[in-house]
Amino acid sequence: MTTGVAGEEVVYHVRTGAGEVEKILLTDEVASKANILTRDAATLLGKEGTYIRVIGTEEQLRRVQELLEGKARRVEEDELREVLRKIKEEDEKALEGFGNIFL
């Protein structure tokens, strides 16, 4: 896990059924309070499925892990760094585009 200002950050990969997994996370009392972001894996890294980035407290991440057990794989090491880098790039491009609206 990497530490951020808002809490801990983890990424999961779901091959199929991402909509159902996201629904499970967003309807859970504890997990839904975390910052949950989904991204198409094909767009980010050319892989099948969906990446789910979660930023939250230790309690929230523990609950997310429980809910995703058997449904998603936790992303680690090089793949994790690459996914987080791509998400950051997307965010920066979006902010850059938004900033151009006011020029």
With a cut of 70, say whether residue 44 has pLDDT above it: yes
Closest C-alpha among 10, 4, 7 to residue 64: 10
Q: What is the pLDDT of residue 103?
A: 55
Q: What is the pLDDT of residue 5?
A: 40
Q: How confident is the model at residue 60 (pLDDT cuts 50, 70, 90)?
A: very high
**CATH class of this structure's domain 2-100:** alpha beta
Mean pLDDT of 76-85: 96
The identity of residue 97, as a single letter, is G
Q: What is the pLDDT of residue 82?
A: 96
In the Cβ-directed half-sphere of 29, how many Cα atoms lie within 13 Å?
Answer: 0
Does an H or E element contain 36, and which? Answer: strand 35-40
With 0.85 as the threshold, say if the pTM is over it: no
Higher per-residue pLDDT: 6 or 25: 25
